[in-house]
Amino acid sequence: MLIRDPVHGDVALSRLEAEVLDFPEVQRLRGIKQLGTACLVYPGCVHTRFEHSLGASVMAHRIIASLRREGTPVPRDCEDLIGAAALLHDITHVPFGHTLEDERRLFGRHDKGSRLARMLDGPLGARLEGLGIHAGIASMLGAGPATVPAWMPEVVSSTIDADLLDYLRRDSYFAGLAQDYDDRVFRYFRVTDEHLALNMTKHGMERPDARSEVVQLLRMRYFLTERVYYHHTKVVAGAMISKAVEMALDAAALDESDLLRLNDWTLLERLRQSSVPAASALIERLLSRDLLKRGYVITAHRTPAPQRAALVHRYHETRAERRAAEERLAAKLGCATGEVIVYCPALTVMKEAAALVHTPDGLRRLNDAEGEAFSEIKALEARYETLWRLYVFAPAEIARRAAGAAEEIFGHPNEYTFTGADNEPVGEARVRSPTE
């Protein structure tokens, strides 16, 4: 099978991969946007997890080709299994999954919990059994005993992997951002001590070109997080959806199993028609782009690490504490439940900086490498940590008052400056651009 992809060009699939691509669980991903609500800021960001899964498979094959050039034998059936695992790696994603799982922590992460194990016990498992790859896929995706070498699943999901190499390029392309990496990076993959690593040596010496290419990947990761993934408009829209989902869950109008049968628009429609008025109201506002506004913001720049950790524990990890804070704010402001949302994400960590690299001193983590040459990596990690923000979102007409009420509750001064009309924060003109 040959498929034309806008990012990678013509994609040739093996017979096994073509069968996996047609699985209903993979086809469902056509209805789940890769970047959730980012299209409210970058209109081109309507690409889906289906396209990304196809692209991850392409990147996996390119990594395998590099491994073979470096002398690692990869049998054809192993390559097919890795390609199929890349196509399946996101099938446990729910609509707006990162928002619901990572940002508001309503569910366990799609790639850490038991969703895939449950799916493998059902029709999906039967289809995989029919293809003779059930045990291999379970091992590749972390839902079964390790029956394959450690490096094989690391091609699909580790630090610098097929998943990352696709979404960096794909997300940049559809956001319209002039960011890319050089394909030279594929030359550096190798298997060392049974693990996937990046070769940073040549003739026994550290090679600057390899380091530069890897640093470029980390720069892209930082840039996309700063400009796209953590853009405040995307964040508030996602917060409105996740608050609506939370209220529907609390009212037993929705459960986690429902989300694996829904896509983006069917979830929004179900919430809009929900028997929970506050959830329905939030979605009505979202669909008309009448978004809540920033009233209160504190940042990593002015919040020491121990205080950030305490806030994350209380308002990210502890759902009851967050809900209590939202209820206190709503009572102080005299507004309805659901009109004030506390957004407190997990601490920001650049996991890609921990990639395994082969150096003149042996195998080690990239961010453990010593010397001035690697100082930029540590600087990028430090910058990435500062992307953390705690927000309180509220309707525009009460955003200023929300700031004062939030200062009393959180004990930190508001860092967000209001200018212009009393009820209109900076940068909230009706016609918006991605740079706002």
Specify the pLDDT at position 188: 95
- Bridge partners of 189, per DSSP, are 198
Q: Are residues 15 and 103 in the same domain?
A: yes
Query: pLDDT for 326-368, tens place per residue?
Result: 999 999 999 988 899 999 999 999 999 999 999 888 888 998 8
Question: Domain of 33: which CATH number?
Answer: 1.10.3210.10
Question: Is residue 112 predicted with pLDDT exceeding 60?
Answer: no
DSSP 8-state assignment for residue 226 = I
Q: Are residues 115 and 176 in the same domain?
A: yes
Q: Alpha-carbon distance 368 to 197, whole Å?
A: 14
Total of domains in the chain: 3
Decide which of 339 and 107 is more confident. Answer: 339
Average of per-residue pLDDT values in the chain: 91
Q: Are residues 165 and 257 in the same domain?
A: no
| 293 three-class SS | strand
Specify the pLDDT at position 62: 97
Element (H, E) at 12: strand 9-12
Q: Within 10 Å of residue 277's Cβ, how many Cβ atoms?
A: 12
Question: Is residue 427 predicted with pLDDT exceeding 80?
Answer: no
Across residues 172-201, what is the average pLDDT? 95
Decide which of 105 and 344 is more confident. Answer: 344
Q: Are residues 129 and 263 in the same domain?
A: no
Specify the pLDDT at position 299: 97
pTM (two decimals): 0.92
Query: pLDDT for 363-372, tens place per residue?
Result: 889 988 776 6
Q: Are residues 56 and 147 in the same domain?
A: yes
Pick the last residue of a domain from 291, 316, 337.
291
Q: Are residues 265 and 336 in the same domain?
A: no
Pick the last residue of a domain from 291, 315, 339.
291
Q: Are residues 363 and 434 in the same domain?
A: no
Q: Are residues 379 and 263 in the same domain?
A: no
* CA contacts within 13 A on the Cβ side of 150: 10
- Domain span at residue 268 reads 232-291
Q: Alpha-carbon distance 390 to 410, whole Å?
A: 10
Specify the pLDDT at position 432: 37
Specify the pLDDT at position 436: 41
Q: Are residues 287 and 248 in the same domain?
A: yes
Q: Within 10 Å of residue 141's Cβ, how many Cβ atoms?
A: 21
∠ CA 406-409-415, rounded to 5°: 40
Q: Within 10 Å of residue 111's Cβ, how many Cβ atoms?
A: 18
Q: Are residues 69 and 121 in the same domain?
A: yes
Q: Are residues 265 and 187 in the same domain?
A: no
Q: Are residues 180 and 325 in the same domain?
A: no
| Residue 221: closest CA among 38, 359, 351, 91 | 351
